[in-house]
Structure 1
C-alpha cells in the first residue's frame, strides 16, 4: 500500500519524508502545477506517476509513455520520481531527457508512443513545477481527464500492476531538429534575434533557426536555471524589451522570444516594436488563407477582433471561431474542426497538416513566420504588421487571485455584465453589443471596443485583456471599466503589469 497524499506537511520533518504531499489545487484545468516542496514533494510526484499510469490503463490505452524535463535545478529529480510511479503502475517509460515540451509531443509520433508526461513549469517563476500530460496524440488532458486523475491520486486509488520498464532514448534532440530542418532553406537572407531567457529552448532554437537559413543573433541562450535576466515568458514586457534592444542594436529583421519550455514564440519587428501573438496570427492567417481556399482557424477569447473583421480574411473566405483560452482547449478544438491553425494570444499556435502535427511548438511558429517573410521578399515584418487594420491592444494583465476564490470572482463578473446587457446599462460609456461567455466573459460595446476577464488556468491569477479599434483612449476606458468591477472584489490583488 502507498500512503494517501495529504494537502499540507511541514518541511524538514520525518513526516515530510514519509508521506506524499499533494496540494489539491495543483490539478489545473488541463495540466498540473505546484510550488515544489511547499505544495508537492517527491513522494507526491511519485503518487502522481502512479495515478497517471492507473488512469492510462483504466482508459484502455497501451501503457507506454514519453517523458522529458525542462531546465530547472529540480526538474530531473521530479521526473525520476514521476518515472518511478509510472513504472510501479506498469508503464513502459521512454525518457528523452532534457527537452522542450514540443519535443516530447514529437516523440509520441516519432517513437510511436501513445502517451506523454512532460515535466515542466513552462513560463512560471522558479520554484514552480508541473506536468503536461496526454494519452491521445496530439491532444493533452482537459478538465475531464484532470478531474479523474485528481480523484485517483488524492484517494491513493492506484492499480500497481508492476511490470513497468524504463528506456532512455539517446540523442533524441537530433531527431527533432532533423524533422524541423529537413526542408529547402530560406531564399531570403533573414537576420533574427533568438531570445530564450536562459530557458530550455536555448539548447535547441539557435541551431534550428540557423539550419533553415537564418543569420542568428543569440540573446540569453545559455542555459541557466536561475533565469538571471528575466523570466522566459514572451508575454512579459521585460523579455520583449530586451529583444527590442537586441533587434535595434543588431539591425535584425525580427526577433523571436521563446518561453521556458519552447512551446510559445513572441515576436519583435524590425523597428523594435512588439507584435502581440494574436496580431502575428492574423498576419499568418492572411498568408495561409491566400494559399488555401476556405481556410478555417480557431482563436482564443483573448485574441484580437480582427480575426472576425479583417477585410483580407473576409475576402479570402477564411472562417474563424473564438474558443476557450488554454493550450489543451485550443489544441482539442483545432483538432475537432480540422482547422488549419489554432492561434492563442499567449503565443501557443497549433499547426495542423500540412504545416504541423496539431500540437503547439514555438519553433514551428517561428519557421512559419520566416516562411511568410520568404514569400514576401519585398516586405519587412513591420510593413506586414502595418498593413493590418489598426487596433489598440493591451498585453495580458494578471491581477493576483487565489486559486480557491478566482472562479467565484469570475462568476460574479459574468453575472455583473450579463445583467448590464439585460438592463441596457453602459460599459465604458456605451451599450453592450455582444457577450462571449465560453471562457470567463468578453464584453464588446457598440464601437467594437472589448474587454475580457477570465480565470488563469495555471496560476493563482485572473486574466484581463482589452482592445479597441477606435483609439488608445477607448482601450484605456474599457480597462478602467473592467478594473472598476474587479475592485469591488477584495480577493483581487495587484496586477503583474498594466497599461
Structure 2
C-alpha cells in the first residue's frame, strides 16, 4: 500500500526519501502549484499521478493522457515521477517532452487523447513547480475536479488498476508549429521583438513568427532555467521594460512577451509603451467584432471597463461578459457561451474557431495581434491603442498573504466593502455605485473609477488592480482607499510591485 502523504518532511532525511510529501494548499482552484523540495517531493509527485489516474477512472474518462514539461532544472524529473504514478493507475501516457503548455492542449486534439497533465510552474519564480490538468478538451480542471483530486491524493485513496504504458511522441513540436503556420503569410512588413525571458517559449516563438512572415528580433530566447535577466512574466514591469528598450533600439512595430510556459502574451507598442493585456483585448475585440457581428466576448473581473463603453463594440453589436479570473474559469465560460474570444488581464487569451480551439496559447494570441495589424495596413500599434478611450490603470499588484488565510482575508474585504455600501460610506471620496463579488470584490465609484481585490489562485498572495477613466490622480486615490481596507487585516504583507 502506498503511504498516505505527509504535509511536511525534512529534506535530506530517511523519511524525505521514503514517504510522499504533499502540502495540501498546493491544490489550487484550477491547477496545482508547490515549492519543490519544501512543499512537495518526488514521491509526492508520484502520489499526484496515481491520484490523477484514479480521478480519470472515477470521471468515466479513458485512462489515456498527454504529459510534457517546461524548461526548469527539475521539471523533467518531476514529470517522470508523475508518469510512474499515472502508469501505476493504469494510464497510457503520451510524453511530448519539453513543451510549452499549449502544446499539451494541442496534443490532446492531434493525438486524440482525452486528458492532459502539463508539468509547469508557469510564470512563478524558480523553485516552484506545478501541474495544469484537464480531462475534457479544451477545458482544464476547475474547483470540483481539483477538490476531488486533493481528497484522493491526501487520503491515498488510489485505484491502482495497473496495465499502464508509456510512449514518447518525438515529433509533436514540429506538428504544433506546422499547425500554427500552415496559413497565408502576412502582407504587411512587420518587425517584431519576440521576448521569452529565457523560458520555454524561446524554443518556438521566433520560428513561428518568422514562418508567418515577420522580421523577428529575438530577445532572451536562449533557454536558461536560471532566468538570468528577469522572470518570464509579461505582467512584470521588469520584463515589459526590457521589451520596450528592444523595441526602441530596433525600431520595431511591436514587442511581444511570452511567459514561462508560453500560454500568455504581453504587448509593447511601437513607441515603447506597454499595453496592458485587457486593453489589447479591447483592440482585438474591436477588430474581431467587425468580422463576427453580434459577437460575444468574455473578460475577467480584473479587466478594464472599456468593454462595456467602447463605441465600436456597441456599433458592432458586441456583448461582453465579466467573469471569474483564472484560465480555467474563462476557458469554460468562453466554451459555455460560444464566445468568439475571452481575454484576461494576465495575458491569457482564448479563441474559439476559426482562430483557435478554445484554449489559451500565447502564440495563437501573438498571431491574432499580428493579423490585426495586417488588417490595418496604414495604422501602427500605437494608433490602434490611441483609438480606444484613455484610462489610467495599474499593473496587477500582489501583496503577500499566506495560502492558509488568503481566502478568509478576501472574504473579510468583500464584507467590509458591502458594509460600506450599505452604510452609504464613500470610497476615495465618492459613493459606491456597483459591487461585483463573483470573484473577490470589484468596487466602482460614481465617476467609473474602480478597484479590485481577490485571492490569487496560484500563489500565497492577494491580487489588486485599479483603474480610472478620469485621471491618474483618481487611480492613485482608489488604490490608497483599497489598500487602506487591506491594511485592516494584519495578514496582508508587502506588494510585489506597486504604483
Same fold (TM over 0.5): yes
The corresponding residue for 2:231 is: 231
Q: For residue 431 of structure 1, report the CA deviation from its aligned partner.
A: 0.3
Corresponding residue SS for 1:53: helix
The corresponding residue for 1:424 is: 424
Corresponding residue SS for 1:290: helix
Map residues 400-411 of structure 1 onto 2, 5 A cutoff.
Answer: 400-411=400-411
The corresponding residue for 1:155 is: 155
The corresponding residue for 1:26 is: 26
Distance 1:422 1:212 in 2: 55
Distance 1:246 1:404 in 2: 41
The corresponding residue for 2:286 is: 286
Q: For residue 107 of structure 1, report the CA deviation from its aligned partner.
A: 0.2
Distance 1:44 1:444 in 2: 44
Map residues 142-221 of structure 1 onto 2, 5 A cutoff.
Answer: 142-221=142-221
Distance 1:490 1:58 in 2: 42
The corresponding residue for 2:339 is: 339
The corresponding residue for 1:249 is: 249
Distance 1:354 1:477 in 2: 43
Corresponding residue SS for 2:153: helix
Corresponding residue SS for 2:216: strand
Distance 2:431 2:51 in 1: 49
Equivalenced residues, count: 499
- Could you list the runs of 5+ residues in structure 2 that have no partner in the other structure? none
Q: Could you report, residue by residue, the CA deviation over 1:167-203 in whole angstroms, capped at 9, with x for unpaired residues?
A: 0001210000000000000000000000000000000
Q: Could you report, residue by residue, the CA deviation over 1:73-108 in whole angstroms, capped at 9, with x for unpaired residues?
A: 000000000000000000000000000000000000
Q: What is the TM-score normalised by the length of structure 2? A: 1.00
Distance 2:266 2:144 in 1: 30
Map residues 85-124 of structure 1 onto 2, 5 A cutoff.
Answer: 85-124=85-124
- Could you list the runs of 5+ residues in structure 1 that have no partner in the other structure? none
Across the aligned residues of Structure 1 and Structure 2, the Cα RMSD in angstroms comes to 0.4
Corresponding residue SS for 2:81: helix
Distance 2:192 2:213 in 1: 10
The corresponding residue for 1:67 is: 67
Q: For residue 391 of structure 1, report the CA deviation from its aligned partner.
A: 0.3
Q: Could you report, residue by residue, the CA deviation over 1:422-456 in whole angstroms, capped at 9, with x for unpaired residues?
A: 11110000000101000000000000000000000
Q: For residue 354 of structure 1, report the CA deviation from its aligned partner.
A: 1.0
The corresponding residue for 2:465 is: 465
Q: What is the TM-score normalised by the length of structure 1? A: 1.00
Distance 2:421 2:489 in 1: 20
The corresponding residue for 2:494 is: 494
Q: For residue 58 of structure 1, report the CA deviation from its aligned partner.
A: 1.1
Q: For residue 297 of structure 1, report the CA deviation from its aligned partner.
A: 0.3
Distance 2:361 2:428 in 1: 37
Distance 1:234 1:312 in 2: 27
Corresponding residue SS for 1:227: coil
Map residues 341-420 of structure 1 onto 2, 5 A cutoff.
Answer: 341-420=341-420
The corresponding residue for 1:260 is: 260
